[in-house]
Amino acid sequence: MTARYCSLAQQSVPAFAPGLAAERLRALIGGSRMWVNGTVLHYYFFDRDGDGSVIPDPGTGRSGHVPWVGGKEQRDVVRECFQEWQDLGIGVSFVEVGERSEAELRVGFQLGDGSWSHIGKDALGVGLNERTMNFGWDLTVPGERGTALHEIGHALGMLHEHQSPFAGIHWDDEAVYTDLAGPPNYWSRDRTFFNILRKLDPDEVNGSVWDPHSIMEYPFSAGLILEPEQFRAGLNPPGVLSKADKEFVLRWYPPAGTAGPRELVPFRSVPLRLGPAEQADFVVEPPETRTYTLGTFGDSDAVVVVFEERDGEPRYMTAEDDGGTPHNATVRARLVKGRRYVVRVRLYANWGSGETAVMCW
């Protein structure tokens, strides 16, 4: 029996200017969709009567309005899975909110639209009244809890494991197209190619070794995989977080240190001294209310993210990513005296000989 599969929307590999050094490009592609560590990701479940959209029925092709609102049992499965990822001790946390305007992740349960998620911080480009994640079938059915873990993996920046160029999978392409064209998926050839047969860029993938046990791996029935030979009879991952899944997410989002962020004082630069994929956190307590500029200096690729603390919790304000450009990341934000702000700087790569630094002015 064919499984139901996560169906990501077609999108291209992040594009950068030609001529970048291979090491620099590798760091940019691998990290461009990842959140800065310490981010609190707020998630919201669509809950209004009018939340929904018109979609065709996958089986009949007839269109109708289908709601995005899910029942309590469905929401509880997703809540539990957010908590399971967080309980690994990662440096990113999840908090449910009751207003969509407060959420980076907005979750729907539209039956017939498949299960999918935007990848990592691509979710920030989605309109406030649109979903960043959807569950298109019953998550309470035995074996389907893994679907929620899988989609949250995408929200953390992880991609499909079977599309890794390190997997060495040789498909029976036409058998795959035929299998996915029928129930329960009803996929077009383009969708099947994008989500199954297409190989990812080596710099995009979750690791340098294929993990057939990953939560990001699909199950496949017999006759679809020709090689490796042991999977000709089918591939059946367990549907739980694997050892490699946990190692990957903890590598990108390590637990918060005990030292706490350093103070960033206006007009005083602070050397960063970061290696690739490392991060530095700072606190800004503005001496006056005005528009400030916060930015990096030096030959490096970095992302600068500004949060405002509200009730002790950092809330995303603005960000700038200078990856692949000759410029430095610079953001302008109105900071209010008496409030506290957190600035996180994550380095992709250094590509010059001098030091890099951050300053607020």
Residues 233 and 276 in one domain: no
pLDDT of residue 24: 85
pLDDT of residue 344: 97
Residues 247 and 267 in one domain: no
CB 164 within 8 A of CB 200: yes
d(CA 341, CA 336): 9
pLDDT of residue 45: 98
* CATH number assigned to the domain comprising residue 83: 3.40.390.10
**Which of these three, 252, 278, 304, is where a domain ends?**
252
Instruction: Judge whether 8 lies within some domain.
Output: no
Split the chain (361 residues) into runs of 10 and give each run's mean pLDDT.
85 77 85 94 97 88 94 98 98 97 97 95 95 97 96 96 93 97 94 95 80 96 95 96 96 84 95 91 97 95 96 93 92 97 93 82 97
Locate 336 and state its tokens: 């209010």
Residues 205 and 97 in one domain: yes
CB 253 within 8 A of CB 41: no
Q: Tell me how many domains the chain contains.
A: 2
Locate 99 and state its tokens: 């207003």
Q: Residue with structure tokens 């996929």?
A: 187
pLDDT of residue 242: 97
CA 112 to chain centre: 23
Residues 241 and 272 in one domain: no
**Which SS3 state, helix, strand or coil, does residue 220 take?**
strand
Residues 176 and 301 in one domain: no
Residues 231 and 317 in one domain: no
Strand 225-227 with 170-171, pairing: antiparallel
Residues 176 and 243 in one domain: yes
Residues 277 and 305 in one domain: yes
Q: Which domain holds residue 290?
A: 262-360
Instruction: Judge whether 257 lies within some domain.
Output: no
Residues 205 and 279 in one domain: no
pLDDT of residue 215: 97
pLDDT of residue 342: 97
Instruction: Judge whether 270 lies within some domain.
Output: yes
Instruction: Judge whether 13 lies within some domain.
Output: no
d(CA 170, CA 220): 13
Residues 308 and 209 in one domain: no
Residues 106 and 232 in one domain: yes
Instruction: Judge whether 115 lies within some domain.
Output: yes
Distance set, CA 270 to CA 273, 325, 350, 355, 356 (Å): 9, 22, 16, 10, 9
Distance set, CA 265 to CA 11, 332, 333 (Å): 40, 16, 15
pLDDT of residue 354: 65
Q: Which residues contact 282 (CB under 8 A, 6 or more apart)?
A: 261, 262, 263, 264, 270, 342, 343, 344, 345, 358
**Which of these three, 252, 273, 308, is where a domain ends?**
252
Predicted TM-score of the model (pTM): 0.93
**Which of these three, 252, 271, 302, is where a domain ends?**
252
Instruction: Judge whether 7 lies within some domain.
Output: no
Instruction: Judge whether 39 lies within some domain.
Output: yes
* CATH number assigned to the domain comprising residue 266: 2.60.120.1050
Instruction: Judge whether 42 lies within some domain.
Output: yes
Residues 186 and 266 in one domain: no
pLDDT of residue 208: 72
